Amino acid sequence: MTRSLKKGPFVMLSLLKKVEEMNAKREKKVVKTWSRGSTIVPSMLGHTIAVHDGRKHVPVYITEDMVGHKLGEFAPTRTFRGHGAHTERSTALK
């Protein structure tokens, strides 16, 4: 179920406050956040936000196409390493 239009998009207040302060000062620096559920709003355009993926912060540069999506969509939590990678031992047994 989607969020009510009356409520508006969810953005963590501390994150929004940091972005608004950087916009007022016209500075660009990386902001760390654990809020993967925050929606990207137009005031975040051009900033780099480091989103936590469960073990590290993944830097995400915000572009115009990302507005309306969630921050967590751009920081994958799982890394696919292939189906049983070939090693020297497995090739020697054949």
pLDDT in tens, 38-56: 999 999 999 999 999 999 9
- Give residues with Cβ within 8 angstroms of 47, minimum separation 6: 19, 22, 28, 31, 61, 62
Specify the pTM: 0.83
**What band does 66 get if pLDDT is binned at 50, 70 and 90?**
very high
CA distances (Å), origin 47, targets 5, 30, 31, 44:
26, 7, 8, 6
pLDDT tens-digit readout, 2-16: 889 999 999 999 999
